Amino acid sequence: MFNPILSFLRQSWLVLGLASGLSAALAGVDFALRDRIAGNSQQRLETAVLDVVPDGASSTPVTIAGVTMYRVTDDSAAVCGWATPADGRGFQDRIRLMVGLSKDGSHVTGLTVLESNETPGLGDRIQQPQFRDQFVGQSTEHPFARVKPGESAPAPVDAITGATISSQAVITAVNSQIALIRQELAAQLDPSAESQP
């Protein structure tokens, strides 16, 4: 007599066995490596935070007005700056940045790219210091503006040739992140500012 269950098992025991064995192997690998992989991205974030704030020795994540930031302290445990992750839509994919700000949030101290899949040779030059360093030292009072050679603006940034969209994406991301936190930073540092209208 034809037994469908037996017929099924006769044909598929190998597939079922392999699937179980391979799944167990996958689970084992994940279990063994999960902490290390999480540690890698954590370490990368911490390196980026200390990279964008000069004299930074250690950092603590804090949430100000719903935005994740890192309070960066120097060797004597005094606050020496802030770092905040910024996000933008690039040419191909999301661009993730880390922006460093001075203690009072008045100017940019550093900018580094955490993640970018921009076109090699063109858009991915946003990672090079020639582009990133343009932000450093500039005041956060005015939003950054993309300029062509010869033009002027309160906070000018030269776009990369052949990568206008990537350059603009970085500028927009930095601007919107700074706009989000500038007020909060000023208020945090100067308690009297909160009571005054």
Partner 1 sequence: MSSLHGLPEARARFVRGWFTENPTYVQLLGMCPTLAVTSTLPAAVTMAVATGVVLLCSNIITSLISRQLQPHLRILVYTLTIATFVTIVDRLLAAFAPAMSRQLGPYVPLIIVNCIIISRAEACASRQNLGTAVADALGQSGGFLLGLSSLGIVRELLGSGSLWGLPVLPENYPGMLIFVLPAGAFLTLGSLSGALNAIRMREKGTQ
Helix, strand, coil share of the chain (percent; to 5) = 45, 25, 30
What's the CA gap between 183 and 178, in Å, rounded?
9
Residue 133 in the binding site for partner 1 (CB under 8 A): no
Instruction: Between 102 and 116, name the residue whose CB sits nearer to partner 1.
Output: 116
What's the CA gap between 127 and 102, in Å, rounded?
21
What's the CA gap between 166 and 168, in Å, rounded?
5
Closest of 64, 48, 51, 84 to residue 177, by C-alpha? 84
* Among 20-28, 97-105, 138-146, 180-188, the segment contacting partner 1 (CB under 8 A): 20-28
Q: What mask of x and - would describe binding to partner 1 in positions 45 to 84, judged by CB under 8 A?
A: ----------------------------------------
Residue 120 in the binding site for partner 1 (CB under 8 A): yes
Residues that bind partner 1 (CB under 8 A): 11-12, 14-15, 18-19, 22-23, 25-26, 29-30, 33, 36-37, 40-41, 44, 115, 117, 119-122
